Structure 1
Amino acid sequence: MPLGGVQQWIEAERARPPAPTRAWYWTLALGIAVLVFGAWLTQIFPQQGHAIAPGYGAPVLALEFAGGQDDLEAIFGVESDPQQVARLAAMRTGNERDYLYMLLYAGFLACGCFALWRELRARALLAATMLPAAAALCDAYENWLLFDIQAAFTAGDYSPAMASLPYPVAAKFLLLALTNVVIGAAATQFGRWWALFGTLAILAAIPTVMAIITPAAFAWMLIPSAAGGWLLLLALAAAGSWRAIARGQPLAG
């Protein structure tokens, strides 16, 4: 579709009266898939590191913020550690299956932003559908670097990919945090209680910056920080789907 046609379509959609949107159904289905698959994927990754700082929480987060061989040894253990091979294998398997998780969470968040745009007709919400897609691309690049880093560590070498790792990691988490801010801001338009939860989701995004700056102390906060906006969007999707089915009304109606 030519650019002019896209602009006309956007303007036509904005002029339409409020109506239920099927995008909520997709958002709800993908949100449930994210929860189920995410819970399963968490069990695939190694549950404990060799000697990681408690502030990292999960070993996979420690790996994402690894800056040198000492960090890798703290995660996987030294060569004489009998658990090293198992940790390396679990981390690789988890990162391989993480690609499907990227597609699921990007689809969930993008569909959610699209549904919010159909409800509120704010252009910023339509533009925000690109944020989770960009985050997933950063995540995929990050995984590619992690495979190289892990392979080099297994061979007893240092991977130059370590120097590039901080950039996609920071970009991914910042993009996801920004997506949550957009979701929270949109939720404030639906009423008093939604405004409360939207504000909480916005505030929950703040620790992302702290975690990126000082991961050894605050990386564990990245999971609950992201969960705030994701759970809010799932609740919006459930409410939007219910209103569409039971009353034939949009959530903003």
Structure 2
Amino acid sequence: MNAGALPAVRWWLAALFLGFGTITVGLWLSQTFPQDSFAAEPGYGAPVLAFEFAGGQDDLLAIFGPDSDPRQVGRLAAMRTGNERDYLYMLLYAGFLASGLIALGRETGLRIVAVAAALPILAALCDGYENWLLFDIQAAFTAGDYSPAMASLPYPVAAKFVLLALTNVAIGLALAQLGGRWWTLAGTLVIVACVPTLMAIALPAHYGWTLLAAAGGGWIVLLGTAAIASWRGVVQARPLVVAPTAPPPRPIARPSARRQASPPATGFGRRRR
């Protein structure tokens, strides 16, 4: 069996390549966005998350600082640059997660898992719309005005994180279907890590920092799975999980026909009493 004949090896290789690209660009973006805020709540974590959950001018002032703050211009410039480069990140994580789900769908034979590949694509579309709103909000703040886009911002932000959480749930369920206690444990951990997502959306000032961990846990597990599956597919020419083969049936031993008891031998002469 060659690598091309395996059901999911090409999708695993795509997931592996895009996964490493996602991590690389993600680390790059983490250094591009502002490293600190003026006075945002520490529960948000990164200032970019505080910007995504901003609900009014007071929140923007807490993120970027007032005009008298000499670091305001630097924060505004870093935020815009990071959001511009974020579109590349969207393409990478959407492709990574979609490829991984398609590969898992082919490995498990579950069509619903492959259909779930649409979830990260929808999340990336929400992310793109969110960035478009953030550009408008930031431009208005720079000019000293209020942007009406602020009222629409919560919807794509919440939809993005919910869709990413559902993506991780689909990954966890698919991993649990691979068989074996370790795959089941990995799938369970991925699903459990999604629990803080709703808390973070409801109370971002307190639990916003958990969003990156909730999404990143499933991504790391998927990347590790893609690396294992790619190695087995390319080097060993076998799928990620080999279905156990049933042992050959044992031959049925038919009982041999019983021999008829021979009549007792009779001797010559008269029988003794």
TM-score in same-fold range (> 0.5): yes
The structural deviation recorded for 1:249 is 1.0
State the SS of the aligned residue for 2:235: helix
Does residue 150 of structure 1 match 2:127? no
Which of 212, 227, 232 aligns to 2:221? It is: 232
Question: 1:170 Cα shift?
Answer: 0.2
Match of 2:230 in 1: 241
Q: Is the 8 A contact 1:18 1:119 kept in 2?
A: no
Q: CA RMSD in A?
A: 1.1
- Paired position in structure 1 for 2:197: 208
Matches within 5 A, 1:176-191: 176-190=164-178, 191=180
Letter in 2 for 1:33: G
Q: After the TM superposition, list the runs of 4 or more consecutive aligned residues in structure 1 that deviate by more than 3 angstroms.
A: 17-20
Partners of 1:233 and 1:87 in 2: how far apart?
34
Structure-2 residue corresponding to 1:7:
none
Q: Are 1:32 and 2:32 matched, yes or no?
A: no
Q: Which has the larger radius of gyration?
A: 2
* Alignment match of 2:109 (pick from 115, 121, 139): 121
Aligned to 2:99: 111
Asked if residue 250 in structure 1 is aligned to residue 239 in structure 2, the reply is yes
Shift of 1:252: 2.2
8 Å contact from structure 2 (residues 6, 237) kept in 1: no
Question: Whole-Å Cα distance in 2 between the matches of residues 91 and 133 of structure 1?
Answer: 24
Rounded to whole Å, the distance in 1 between the matches of 2:7 and 2:86 is: 36
Unaligned 5+ segments in structure 1 are: 1-16
For these two proteins, the number of residue pairs brought into alignment is 237
Deviation of residue 92 (structure 1)?
0.1
Q: CA deviation at 1:19?
A: 4.1
Match of 2:254 in 1: none
Q: How far 1:18 moved relative to its partner?
A: 7.0
Q: Which residue of 2 aligns with 1:90?
A: 78
2:105 and 2:160 mapped to 1: Cα distance?
23
Q: Give, in angstroms, the shift of residue 246 of structure 1.
A: 2.4
Q: Which residue of 1 aligns with 2:250?
A: none
Query: For the structure 1 residues 99 and 130, does the alpha-carbon distance in structure 2 shift closer, same or farther, using more than 3 Å as the test?
Result: same
TM-score with structure 1 setting the length: 0.92
Q: Which amino acid aligns with 1:67?
A: G
Identity of aligned residues (%): 65
C-alpha offsets along residues 118-170 of structure 1, whole Å, 9 cap, x if unaligned? 11121211211100000000000000000000000000000000000000000
Query: Are the counterparts in 2 of residues 57 and 219 from structure 1 also a CA contact under 8 Å?
Result: yes
CA positional deviation for 1:221: 0.2
**Contact conserved, 1:24 with 1:115, CA < 8 A, in 2?**
yes
In the alignment, what sits opposite 1:13? none
More off after superposition, 79-88 vs 116-125? 116-125
TM-score for both structures, normalised by structure 2: 0.85
Instruction: Give the match's secondary structure for 1:199.
Output: helix
Within 5 A, what are the aligned runs for 1:35-50?
35-50=23-38
Identify the residue that residue 162 of structure 2 maps to in structure 1: 174
